[in-house]
A and B are shown apart, each in its own frame.
Chain A
């Protein structure tokens, strides 16, 4: 049976990296007594996969993982069993049985939404929070938003506009964005922030922002049609 688990990761847990979160859940599943399926072979491992890795330092209320189980009582029971063995800062938000033919979470990921707040005094440089939305709209209205991404091996020229689906702010200076998070063409919120800060003449430092992932989405639209984003937990329906 395929199970999709949605969880939140916040507080001090934002410092736990992706691989360690996988180890954490492998142990948590054992503690919760979940009848998870193991792979065959000499050193069997749990059938468990994660949707989209989350960077260290980022909080999230929309993380997903898939597991396969041999038996279970109910979705609610499993959610409670897992929540009983969680640490502070990790919370199981939902458990859904998926159809056997459902695409796995990792392959389904199309987009992710983020909320961004400046950490210290809540200001965005010289601009009052109430002007922020207008500034962002102007930034977003550009035809292209070129971005140079440097990796250890090479330098890639990206157009952030292609993968930036929504960008806005509310009156208190909280920014909201929806970006491509798929295996092809994903962009990070920090890239957008960096370019935006540059465009308004504000200094950019990733540490200055509190970034929270709100949700991870699948795209149910047919190829070529307009995006139809739904949360991964609803992607099977």
Chain B
């Protein structure tokens, strides 16, 4: 029987002790002696969030396939346990072996959103690993970061020994072999980092220095050793169908956010929405073969016992064999009493038919993401969805019995005017009107339609055409939300429309982290020292403390958020290459300001640069 790191009295005192005991179905136990490499894989948020992440499931299973590696999981202890661990000086442990993380060879951290940065420090701190990479001794784990936020690692560069840029499936074996080789030779930590820097996609931040101009912008970078790469190209999977996929994912005991089998049908997106970072980072689009997916679905359901399955991709409607795959799943799953949760699909006759087969029409809602209120602004952001398509889809849906529609918009997009904002209310109203026009009075199930309109605040992200764009101030954001609310209140059908908006404080902070440089690290460190933690959870987000820390560290928020960047400014992330060229992004930024749309990858190659990988949608097409 496994011995737990926490005593019974602690586990009986904390909320949801199941977060900390491991032992889940398909979790991997190994004889310690067999594992030459001990790897702790961390998602720096609470268990229920971290366990829902597909990327960790992939890497966890893949690493454990290797006989000489034991990969275990670590999540952020919730605030109740955090307090106890500090009081009693209990080192953070991995769930499987229950042994301290500080005794592992590697601590891998997936960095999925900027607001988890203080949680990364919490994990290091509770693990009793020095927060700054430069302070770590020979016996400390190598701390490696990955995930979308690694595409601008500079704000957290001081806390990491390595970053892995790109898709994790490709280079871990290479990295581990170098680690073992270094150990065999009796090499030091520095020796290993030197060797790791030669691995494609691996970035060793402490070997580079960021240089600034007098105006505070970046002048360039200085590297410590001649052999280091100047530019680090992202790693990517070239053959999706034959790449590793976890057929026995871990099944948690407690309810988690994603409590189902997840089938990743493709990676990347053809659409090229100009605000969207994922749409650029994961280029080119690569599909996984539908027959393979059918096999995976059956095996994963049998291996987990999950009662639900869902498809994962950035834009499922663009998957070429979607109809065939859905027909198969609907047939197979209804026999097994397995529910299918459909991802956001383009609303058309086919998807409505599929949805009506798998969900209770009366209870479910439809989602549209026009992102902007006017056609003009939708052209700026290159969002192909037109009003006509939305209204047509809504009419079809209302005929099919749906009465609830969710609409997603962004506020603060580049070039946005009051007219564009007014468009949000207008569009919401038109959709409600379509309901009253389409559904005769005697057939209205609840007698009414419910439109839920939500807005988030636009945050410019690295490696998007909008990386040059100024971001709004908090006051501008709130004013825009107010205008949106007013616009909705003025509508004829305003009683059918509910409006939700996000808080602005956290968006401003996210904006700083997203396009920040190395000078941000001290602010994050200071905020953590002053108790900031779980910033992604609004009840634990302390904006006043953050503002004090920026003040104390002498860091100007506006420099990172509201400042408009010159076309030739060097960005903190320019030394990384995500496949898409800066020239392409700049071209798109200029087209955006001229309200010119770009065709998607299927219609016409835009020469983004990702064709050089020679895979996926770029392969065999007329790529530029």
Interfacial residues, chain A to chain B (CB-CB below 8 A): 11-13, 15-17, 20, 23-24, 26-31, 33, 38, 42-44, 46, 56-57, 85, 87-89, 119, 206-207
In the complex, whether B224 has a CB less than 8 A from a CB of chain A is no
Chain A nearest CB, measured from B335 CB (Å): 11
Residues of chain A contacted by B552 (CB below 8 angstroms): none
Q: Which residues of A contact B301 (CB under 8 A)?
A: 30
Contact call B253/A24, Cβ cutoff below 8 A = yes
Chain A residues in 8 Å Cβ range of B12: 56-57, 206-207
Question: How many angstroms between the C-alpha atoms of A130 and B213 in the bound complex?
Answer: 82
**B8–A57 touching, CB < 8 Å:** yes
- The docked-state distance in angstroms from the alpha carbon of A206 to that of B13 is 12
- Contact partner, A31, options B22, B255, B302, Cβ 8 Å: B302
Known contacts A11-B1, A20-B253, A207-B8, A27 near B21 by CB under 8 Å = no
Give the residues in chain B near A12, CB-CB below 8 Å. Answer: 1-2, 4, 21-23
Q: With A and B bound together, what is the CA distance between A88 and B254 in angstroms?
A: 16
Quick one: which of B1, B9, B339 contacts A88, CB cutoff 8 A? B1
Docked Cα-Cα span, A28 to B24, in Å, equals: 12
Known: A12-B1, A12-B21, A12-B22. 7 other contacts (CB 8 A): A20-B18, A28-B25, A31-B304, A43-B339, A56-B17, A57-B11, A207-B8
In the A-B complex, list the 3 residue pairs whose CB atoms are closest, starting with the nearest.
Answer: A27-B305, A30-B305, A31-B305
Cβ-based interface call for B307 (8 A): yes
User: Are B24 and A87 in contact, CB atoms less than 8 angstroms apart?
Assistant: yes
In the assembled complex, B222 has its CB within 8 A of some CB on chain A: no
B309 to chain A, nearest CB (A): 12
Residue B306 is within 8 A (CB to CB) of chain A in the complex: yes
Closest chain-B Cβ to A176's Cβ sits at a distance in Å of: 21
Given the contacts A20-B18, A56-B17, A29 and B24 also touching, CB distance less than 8 Å: no
Decide if A26 touches B305 in the complex (CB within 8 Å).
Answer: yes
Inter-chain CA distance A58–B2, complex, in Å, is 17
User: In the complex where A20-B18, A31-B304 touch, is A88 in contact with B23 (Cβ < 8 A)?
Assistant: yes
List, in ascending order, chain A residues with CB within 8 A of B2's CB.
11-12, 88
Residue of B nearest to A44 (CB): B337
Say if the beta carbon of B360 comes within 8 Å of chain A: yes
Residue of B nearest to A13 (CB): B23
Tell me which residues from 355 to 414 in chain B have a Cβ below 8 Å from any Cβ of chain A: 360
User: In whole angstroms, what is the CA distance A43 to B307 when docked?
Assistant: 11
Task: Kindly provide the distance from the CB of A224 to the nearest chain B CB, expressed in whole angstroms.
Answer: 41
Taking a contact as CB atoms under 8 Å apart, the answer to whether A15 and B21 are in contact is: yes
B-side interface mostly: loop
Q: Provide the residues of chain B in CB contact with A89, threshold 8 Å.
A: 1, 23
Chain B residues 501-516 with CB under 8 Å of chain A are none
Output the residue of A23, A29, A44, A85 with the most chain B CB within 10 A: A23
Can you give 20 contacting A-B residue pairs, CB < 8 Å? A13-B23, A15-B11, A16-B253, A17-B18, A24-B253, A27-B304, A27-B306, A28-B25, A28-B305, A30-B305, A30-B336, A44-B337, A46-B337, A56-B12, A57-B11, A85-B305, A88-B2, A88-B23, A89-B23, A119-B8
Q: Is B606 an interface residue (CB 8 A)?
A: no
Judge if B459 is at the interface, Cβ distance under 8 Å.
no
CB of B303 within 8 Å of the partner chain: yes
A12's nearest neighbour on chain B, judged by CB, is: B21
**CB contact between A23 and one of B9, B23, B253, B302 (< 8 Å): that residue:** B253
Give the shortest distance, in Å, between B581 (CB) and chain A (any CB): 47
Contacts of A42 in B (CB 8 A): 360
Chain B contacts with A in 327-359, Cβ cutoff 8 A: 336-337, 339
In the complex, which of the residues B4, B22, B301, B307 has the most CB atoms of chain A within 10 Å of its own CB atom?
B307
In the complex formed, the residue of A with least CB distance to B13 is A207
Interface residues in B1-47 (C-beta closer than 8 Å to A): 1-2, 4, 8-9, 11-12, 17-18, 21-25
| Contact between chains at B8 and A23 (CB < 8 Å) | no
B25 contact set on A, CB distance < 8 A: 27-28, 31, 85, 87
Interfacial chain A residues near B305, Cβ < 8 Å: 26-31, 85
The complex places the Cα of A50 from the Cα of B145 at a distance, in Å, of 44
Whole-angstrom distance from the CB of A41 to the nearest CB of chain B?
10
Question: Taking CB as reference atom, which chain A residue is nearest B27?
Answer: A87
Residues of A within 8 A of B303 (CB): 31
A42-B357 Cα distance, complex, nearest whole Å: 11
Q: State the CA gap A26–B305 with chains docked (Å).
A: 8
B555 to chain A, nearest CB (A): 44
CA distance A144 to B254 in the complex (A): 41
Say whether B421 faces chain A, with CB atoms less than 8 Å apart.
no
Q: Which residues of A contact B251 (CB under 8 A)?
A: 27
CA distance in complex: A11, B306 (Å)? 24
B-side contacts of A44, CB under 8 Å: 337
Chain A nearest CB from B243 CB (Å) reads: 26
Chain B residues with CB under 8 A of A17: 18
Residues in chain A near residue B254, CB distance under 8 A: 20
- Residue on B with the closest CB to A32? B305
What is the bound-complex CA distance between A222 and B406, given in angstroms?
60
Task: Please measure, in the bound complex, the distance between the C-alpha atom of A88 and the C-alpha atom of B18, giving whole angstroms.
Answer: 14
**Residues of B contacting A13 with CB < 8 Å?**
23
Chain A nearest CB, measured from B142 CB (Å): 30
CB closest chain-B residue, reference A42: B360
Chain A residues in 8 Å Cβ range of B11: 15, 57
Q: How far is the CA of A139 from the CA of B197 in the complex (A)?
A: 73
Taking CB as reference atom, which chain A residue is nearest B251? A27
Q: For residue A28, give the distance in angstroms from its CB to the closest CB of chain B.
A: 6
CA distance A145 to B405 in the complex (A): 60
Report A-chain residues with C-beta under 8 Å of the C-beta of B9.
Answer: 207
In the bound complex, residues from chain B placing their C-beta under 8 Å from that of A206 are: 12
